[in-house]
Amino acid sequence: MIPPNFDYVAPTTVEDAVAALAGAGEDAKVIAGGQSLMPVLRLRLSAPTVLIDLGRIEGLRGVRDDGDALVIGAMTTYYGLLGNPLISKHALLLADATRTVADPQIRHRGTLGGNVAHADPAGDLAAPVLALEATMTVAGPSGTRTVPASEFFVDLFTTALQSDEILTEIRIPKHTDWAAHYEKLHRVAQAWSIVAVAATVDVDQGTIRQARIALTNVAPVPVRARSVEEALIGQPAREDVIRAAAEHAAEGIDPMSDGNADADYRSHLSKVLTRRAVATAAGV
Ligand SMILES: Cc1cc2nc3c(=O)[nH]c(=O)nc-3n(C[C@H](O)[C@H](O)[C@H](O)COP(=O)(O)OP(=O)(O)OC[C@H]3O[C@@H](n4cnc5c(N)ncnc54)[C@H](O)[C@@H]3O)c2cc1C
């Protein structure tokens, strides 16, 4: 299908984009890589009257070292993340998950900001961003504000972004040289997660010093598996220890049932994929 008519603007600064969004009212939408929005428009599930393209705002692209954190521009593409040594050094989990997203064409167009702003529960980058304790920077008519990832994902396809706000940066505290793995179950290659687990661990001389784990697509929003983390911290990086800790993965979650998996299967997958994700990350 062909999308309904819309006006198109392509500002070159965040300030102009925010002004365009405020001026156009609730019927405007920003477009980043377009890899989720264009299908939505073509299916006529959304009919904005104005599209504000962020693609010409150079300041929204790239990764910079900001001392104890990396700051990633919202318009940084998946390929931009994958090719960046700062990401592999300080936020390996994000790179590992990004590698699993869709196909090469989509990875050239899709953006980190678009992925998390879209807030698809099956999207693969929300859980790593949550696990890595990122903070989102948001620009609106009254200036900028920051939102921790733990408060950013509000519900199915819903974030803390207001309709007149733009996500500009994702700030990720450095997890330097932490091992990481994103374990994703999907039915066919290049598809979204049925369930996935993002795990990153700091292992020192065979002991798990720190662990961060989050689950994809077991709830409307990504879920942090804190009881698994607590069961791992201070323990030897051994298969039996990881297996026992992973049994906590389904605690406190109330997974949904859909055509891909029912709730019981999702609970089961949470444990199995957590065990695999942590074991692979820890190299056992
Ligand atoms: C065939 C196919 C397979 C896919 N497989 C996967 C997969 O395996 N895993 C996965 O995670 N994703 C998958 N995707 C989705 C893809 O990753 C999208 O790129 C992503 O969901 C959205 O990023 P985008 O930059 O394309 O955003 P867009 O499509 O441009 O925008 C998505 C939404 O976010 C809003 N938005 C975008 N940027 C901002 C911003 N800076 N501030 C405020 N709002 C913003 C837009 O208004 C829109 O509502 C797939 C898509 C397709 C078409």
> pLDDT digit string (tens) for 252-266?
899 999 999 999 999
Contact in structure between 149 and 136 (CB atoms under 8 Å):
yes
| Span 85-115, pLDDT tens digits | 999 999 999 999 999 999 999 999 999 999 9
From ligand 1's centre to the CA of 36, what distance in Å? 4
71 falls in which pLDDT band (50, 70, 90)? very high
With a 6 Å cutoff on the Cβ, whether 138 touches ligand 1 is: no
Using a 10 angstrom Cβ sphere, with 0-12 exposed, 13-18 middle and 19 or more buried, the burial of residue 232 is buried
Rounded Cα distance, 84 and 75, in Å: 14
Interval 218-253: pLDDT, tens: 999 999 999 999 999 999 999 999 999 999 999 989
Query: Does the beta carbon of 232 sit less than 6 angstroms from any atom of ligand 1?
Result: no
Pocket lining: 161 vs ligand 1, CB cutoff 6 Å: yes
Burial tier of 272 (Cβ tally within 10 Å: 0-12, 13-18, 19+): middle
Q: Which two tokens stand for residue 95?
A: 């790179």
pTM: 0.97
| Cβ(106) – ligand 1 distance below 6 Å | yes
- Ligand 1 centre from 127 Cα, in Å? 15
Compute the radius of gyration of the chain from its Cα atoms: 19
pLDDT at site 187? 86
